[in-house]
Every structure is written in structure tokens, then in C-alpha cells.
Chains A and B, each alone.
Chain A
Amino acid sequence: MKKETGSVFRELGYFASLGMSVALSIFLGLFLGLWLDKKFDTDPVLMFIGLALGIAAGFSNIVRAGKKGRKF
């Protein structure tokens, strides 16, 4: 019983924080790209690369959560 409650809370915490971490990953990548653009004076290129990396990071979080969810 004790083990059960622990795992329920664990999944709850993990999946509840998923949405926020996806959004923040995308914004983090975007702003990292924008900042690097300003630094190296390569206007739109690094912004798009950063955005793509951010989206990839966000989605890798979802994929990892899905894999974990199948195991439970």
C-alpha cells in the first residue's frame, strides 16, 4: 500500500510538470538563439537553430515520459 501511494505521487508529479517543461524548453532555445544572434551578428540563422533545438528538447521530454509511462 505504501509503495503504491509513493508511485502514484511520483507519476503525478512527473506528468504534471511535463507541460511546463515543454513550454520552457522551447522558449529557452528561442532566447538562447536570439542572444547568440546578437553576440555573433548573424541575424536570423542562430535563432531558428535555437528554436529547433528547443522544440526538439521539449519533444524529447514528451517521448521520454511516454516511454516511462508504458513501463508503469
Chain B
Amino acid sequence: MGHPYLILTSLFGMFGLDGWAAKNPHVVYMWLAMIILIFLGWLGGKSISMVPKKAQNVFEVLISGLEDFMVTITGDEGRKSFPLVLTIFIFVLFGNLMGLVPAFFPPTANINTTLALAFIAVAWSHVIGIQLHGVKYIKHFLGPIPAMIPLFLPIEIIGHTARVLSLTFRLFGNMAGHELVTIILLTLGGMFLAPLPVMALGTFVALVQALVFFLLSTMYIAGAIEEAH
């Protein structure tokens, strides 16, 4: 079931690209989210002063609060990967909230976007593990004794691929489901504002899913840091 009307698709139609934009709304709306987020970052960082004002205040509360939260989970070694995880959090939160605006498509309601995000987060946790522990980190995947490597290696690989999939499907399922329910209620009883309660729930779901994504990527990084002790 497609979206009834997307504003960026008709905007791209002016340049004769509406067929492509209608087929890939998540790409188009991800560009929009990127533009807005880059602009917000520029706005927050353009006049950094010791005594924060307006925009800087908001960003400082958000960033330092989440950084403290992450450091309690991962320990001090996790501070290095905070920029990546925070970027993912803000992007996912913003992408989820875009679904609440009429004629907007949330980029996180497409499985390609969420798979890319989950893959980056999990792959980065392994990079951190190899950086901190070297060869010992890989040894952890091979089980206690060398004779059992053919048994343990596939099990560990399946277990770690399931992490990527669980992150992917949780976010994709929640956001696509929310979109679908909203569209169905809109077609059934849009005149009586039927999708309103679901959209109210959607604000909550958007925040919770972004937090869960942030928390789980942090957990995986924490697991990679304390591995092989």
C-alpha cells in the first residue's frame, strides 16, 4: 500500500524525475532529513561561546546528557564511538518524526535504510573490539579449544548476524507498521480524524524506537569493549 500523496515526489516531478522519486521515497526523504540535520548542526555550532545561548543550549543538553548516559554503560573507552552513535540516534529520531508530518515519508520505514544503519552500528562495534583487543578479539569467536572451531565459528557468526537483523526489523517493523495503520485509518475514516490517536502514539513510538536503537548499539559496543576478559 503506497502513500496517497508525497510532496517531494511532486516537487521532483517538476524536473521530470517523479517516476524515480515515487519508486524511492526513502532516498528522497533521507536527503531532506540530511539537509535539515546539517543545517541544524550548522545553526548550533556557528557561534559557540562559553555562555551558551538558545540553539547551543538545546544541543548541549541533548549531547552531554546522552554522552553521560553512554559512558555509564560502556565505560570511558566508549567515548570515542559516541559521535557515531549520537548521529544514528538523531537521524533515527528525526526520520521517525518525519512520518508524523502529512505528505512526508519517514526514511526509517524502509528496510534498506534501517539495514544500513544497523550494519554500520554492528560493524563498528567489531572494529572497536579489534582495535582494543587485537587478535584476542577474534579468538573469542573460536570457542575454548581449537578442535571445536568448525562448531563454534558458524554459531557465533549466526548469532552476530542475528543482531544486525534484530536491529533492522525492530525499527523497520515499527515505523512501517505505524505508516500502514495511519494510511488505513485515513482511508477508512479520515473525515472523522480517525488516525489522530495512532499519530499521537506515533510520537511516543518514534522516541522509544530511536532510544532503543541507540541503547542497543551502545550495548553492542560495550560488549565488544569488555570482551575477552
Distance of A13 Cα from B222 Cα, bound (Å): 12
Closest chain A residue to B223 by CB distance?
A: A14
Q: Which of B46-81 contact A (CB under 8 A)?
A: 68-69, 72-73
Chosen A-B contacts, 10 in total, with CB atoms closer than 8 Å, are A5-B72, A9-B215, A13-B212, A13-B218, A14-B219, A17-B166, A17-B216, A17-B219, A21-B162, A24-B162
Main secondary structure of the interface of A (DSSP, over half): helix
A residues sitting closer than 8 Å to B (CB atoms) are 2-3, 5-7, 9-10, 13-14, 16-17, 20-21, 24-25, 28-29, 32, 53-54, 56-58, 60-61
Number of interface residues of B (CB under 8 A): 23
In the assembled complex, which residues on chain B have CB atoms less than 8 Å from the CB atom of A5? 72
Main secondary structure of the interface of B (DSSP, over half): helix
B222 touches A60 (CB 8 A): no
Distance of A49 Cα from B114 Cα, bound (Å): 30
Residue B170 CB within 8 A of the other chain? yes
Q: Give B224 Cβ to nearest chain A Cβ, in Å.
A: 14
In the assembled complex, which residues on chain B have CB atoms less than 8 Å from the CB atom of A60? 155, 159
Considering the complex of A and B, which 6 residue pairs feature the smallest CB-CB distances, nearest first?
A6-B72, A57-B158, A24-B162, A13-B215, A25-B162, A57-B159
In the assembled complex, which residues on chain B have CB atoms less than 8 Å from the CB atom of A20? 166, 169-170
Residue B163 CB within 8 A of the other chain? yes
